[in-house]
Structure formats: structure tokens, C-alpha cells
Amino acid sequence: MANPITVSGKSTFDFSELGRERIATQCLCCGGRNLKSTPAVLMPFVSHRVFGWEPVIIDESWGLQTVKTGNAYSICKSLACSDCDFLFLDIRFSPSEMEKLYQDYRGDDYTSLRELYEPGYALRNENLNAGIDYMGQVESFLEPYLTFPLTVLDWGGDTGKNTPFKGRSDVFDIYDISSKPVIDGARIVSKEVAFSNQYKLIVCSNVLEHVSYPSDMIFEIKNAMDKGSILYIEVPLENVQINAGPDSYLKKKHWHEHINFFTETSLRRLAMNAGLEVVELRELVLQFAGKTLVMFQMACRLQ
């Protein structure tokens, strides 16, 4: 395994050298192997939906001599990269496990199982589906780097209701594994169709925090880009990182659908190592239902 090399004062990492073990042993953004860790649990909704592992109560009837009685959940670790502060779940899901988690996302089966483990979820889901409207701030961030008429591909775009410029694009394509019907004006495309086009804008919004290998997704998306394309990446800056700072991994004791918590440094490393130039990166602060949400907005083009 090669060590990261330094070019123009910045370390680079060749993603073809990234390990694909079930339990991660290196940073998914910079390849660093100097990882800090703390024990955590995989939330029961996720462990049930992905692995079929339900929480149990171990009691005397189990007849175990060396195991203590009590609640048992799926354990895991929180990992933090010492080089770029990327914070992540050590478990990496396979493609078929991702399919189990995200098929018919927030549909009936998903919602009823989640309600079982997380009472009150169904009501919160209605609010989530109603959405938070900050489209204007996304469009104003991107507009200086775009030319019209626009062609848009929303990678992981769900129904398309949150796609920027959706009413102002000559082409509005969506690639998504959730298999939901899309809004009027949008077209569902396969990867093959997406890769046979080059789009002026590709949106990958609130997706990379869910996937096992963010770099793999960026390399796929690059197939639909040319020198004039802008890739818009949006991921949350999570509250534990805002509140706990550099040692936030010590406070990260549970993992749900967001398995990657990015920092500015880790996002820049990820983009650079994946062959992208960061055109602009900023934090967007939003108020929603009495809470403060922070998003990283990153516009990139091919290097």
C-alpha cells in the first residue's frame, strides 16, 4: 500500500489503493491510516433493515456462562481520521445491503419498521417530506458558474422535488436507487443513459453521507461530466461536529443512515483525490423547526 505522496504541498491519494474491507481500516477521503476510534452502536432500525439483526434481551434462559444479562444491540465503532478529521462508521455496507436500506425510501415498509424502533418517526417523516425550502440559496450559490440553457442530472435526486433549476432546465434527468415516481418534467435515467450524456450541472445533494465509498460515486458521476460541467455536492455538517469540535468522535455513540460525517478538510481531500477542482466551498446555515442546520455546499469541476 503506497503512502500518500505530496504534490505542491498537498497530499494526494490514489483511490485505486483504497481497501474495501467490511470494517474500514483507512480514511475514505484521504486514505490515511491513522484513525482514532470509540465504541458505538448501530441503531436497531438500520441493523434490522440491513442485516435482519434485531436487538435482544439476554437473560438467564440463554444459559451463557461468561456473558452478562441485559440489552444487546449491534455494536460498531466510530472512526476519525487524524489527518482530515473525517468521522465515519467503521462498517461499510455492500451494494445489496444499501439496496435493502434504501429501496422504497421512506415508503410504507420503511416507515412502519422505523416507527417500531423510533416512535414518532411517521409524524416527523411527514415534516421531512414537506421539506425545507432553501432552493434559492442553492441556486444563487451555483448560478455564477452556470450557463443557460441548462442541462441537469440529479444523482440520488429522489422524486426531483428538491432539484435546483428544475423549472429552468432543458434537460432534467434523475438517477436514483429508490425507484420512486418523479415529478412532472423530470425523467428517470439509467446509469448508461446518464453516462451517454454530459450535463452542465450535476447535483449530488445529501447523498454522499449515506454511501459506503463516496469516491466511487464521484468517479461514476465523472462519466457524465465534461470540462464545462459543474458538480454540486451538498452534505450536512453534523451537530456533533459543531458542538464537540475536533474530538467529536468521542461523542459519536450511535450510527444511523448518515455513515459519513465530513469536515471542510475531508471534503477538499476527497474532491482533489477524485480528480476534481473545488470552485467554491462554503457553509450554509439554515433554521428549520426551531433547529439550526448547517450544510456544506461545494461546487467542483474536472481538474
Q: Which residues bind Zn ion (CB under 5 A)?
A: 27, 29-30, 32, 81, 83-84, 86
Residue 302 zone, left/alpha/beta (φ > 0; ψ -120 to 50; rest): beta
The minimum distance between CB 29 and Zn ion, in angstroms, equals 5
Asked if 70 contacts 120 with a C-beta cutoff of 8 angstroms, the reply is no
Contacts of 116 (CB under 8 A, 6+ apart): 45
The minimum distance between CB 34 and Zn ion, in angstroms, equals 8
Question: Between residues 81 and 89, which has the closer beta carbon with respect to Zn ion?
Answer: 81
Question: Between residues 79 and 174, which has the closer beta carbon with respect to Zn ion?
Answer: 79
The minimum distance between CB 203 and Zn ion, in angstroms, equals 25
Sign of the CA dihedral running 243, 246, 252, 258: positive
The minimum distance between CB 83 and Zn ion, in angstroms, equals 4
Instruction: Indicate the DSSP class of residue 60.
Output: G
Question: Between residues 151 and 266, which has the closer beta carbon with respect to Zn ion?
Answer: 266
Question: Between residues 81 and 217, which has the closer beta carbon with respect to Zn ion?
Answer: 81
Measure the CA–CA gap between 175 and 92, rounded to whole angstroms.
22
Question: Between residues 81 and 152, which has the closer beta carbon with respect to Zn ion?
Answer: 81
Q: Phi first, then psi: what are they for 263, rounded to 5°?
A: -115, 170
The minimum distance between CB 191 and Zn ion, in angstroms, equals 28
Measure the CA–CA gap between 34 and 80, rounded to whole angstroms.
9
